[in-house]
Amino acid sequence: MREDLELAADRLPDYSEYIDRGCDLSPSCLKCPLPRCRHDLEARGSRSARMLRDREILRQRTTAGKSVAELATEYDLSKRTIQRIIRRLSNE
C-alpha cells in the first residue's frame, strides 16, 4: 500500500492531474504571453529580491508610518515576520 502511494507521488507530469487556472494576467498558463512565469519573479524567490522587499518594508514603516499590521497584510507576511525584518534592518 505504501509503495503505491510513493509511486503515485513520483509520476511524470504527463500522468498527473493538473488544472491550468492561469493567473490574473492570463486565463491559462500554457497560453501566457510572458516569457517567464510572473510567480517565478516574485520577491519570495531570491535572496536579493527578499532584501529589496525588506528594505522597502523598513522604508514604508519609517517614512510613511505604516503599521506592522498594514505591512503584514500588504506583503502577505505575519506581523511577527514584519517585526523581525524591521528589527534586523534597524540594527544594521
The domain locations on the chain are 1-41, 43-92
DSSP-assigned letters across all residues of the chain: -HHHHHHHHT--GGGS-------SS-S-GGG-SSSS-GGGGSTTSSHHHHHHHHHHHHHHHHTS---HHHHHHHHT--HHHHHHHHHHHHT-
Give me the tens of pLDDT residue by residue for the chain, a chain 92 residues long: 444 444 555 556 666 677 888 877 888 888 888 787 776 655 455 777 788 889 999 999 999 999 999 999 999 999 999 999 999 999 87
- Rounded to 5 degrees, φ, ψ at 84 are -65, -45
Percent of the chain clearing pLDDT 90 (strictly above): 38
Question: pLDDT value at position 1?
Answer: 46
Is the whole-model pTM more than 0.85?
no
